[in-house]
Amino acid sequence: ETGVTQSPTHLIKTRGQQVTLRCSSQSGHNTVSWYQQALGQGPQFIFQYYREEENGRGNFPPRFSGLQFPNYSSELNVNALELDDSALYLCASSRGLENEQFFGPGTRLTVL
């Protein structure tokens, strides 16, 4: 086990709603990255937080936002949910920006 936890494990929402996903990083890690993985594809980088600041962002619209807390845990918020947001959302933590990332089990989001 990596020590990275995510909640909830599964979630069903309807189009237009808002959702918050949570991630606790591995002890000693100060960087958290979030990914979206659709079926049959590789994870797509949403953004990365380092020491409570957004440090990098992929090609996702502003309705995807995040936070990192002083204990390095993190949240991913998605507003105005669309059907295409249905995916596995993965969080990964690392010690610094360039180092190996360790993944949590993911949150499977279904938007109806």
Partner 1 sequence: RKEVEQDPGPFNVPEGATVAFNCTYSNSASQSFFWYRQDCRKEPKLLMSVYSSGNEDGRFTAQLNRASQYISLLIRDSKLSDSATYLCVVNGLIGTGGFKTIFGAGTRLFVKA
Q: Give me the residues that bind partner 1 (CB under 8 A), please.
A: 33, 35, 41-45, 48, 55-58, 90, 97-106
Interatomic CA distance for residues 75 and 67, integer angstroms: 5
- For the bound state, the minimum distance from the C-beta of residue 35 to partner 1, rounded and expressed in Å, comes to 8
Bond before 8 cis per omega within 30 degrees: yes
Quote the distance between the C-alpha of residue 2 and its chain's center: 16
Of 15 and 52, CB closest to partner 1: 52
Of 84 and 100, CB closest to partner 1: 100
- For the bound state, the minimum distance from the C-beta of residue 16 to partner 1, rounded and expressed in Å, comes to 28
- For the bound state, the minimum distance from the C-beta of residue 106 to partner 1, rounded and expressed in Å, comes to 5
Beta strands in 69-106 (DSSP E): 74-78, 87-94, 102-103
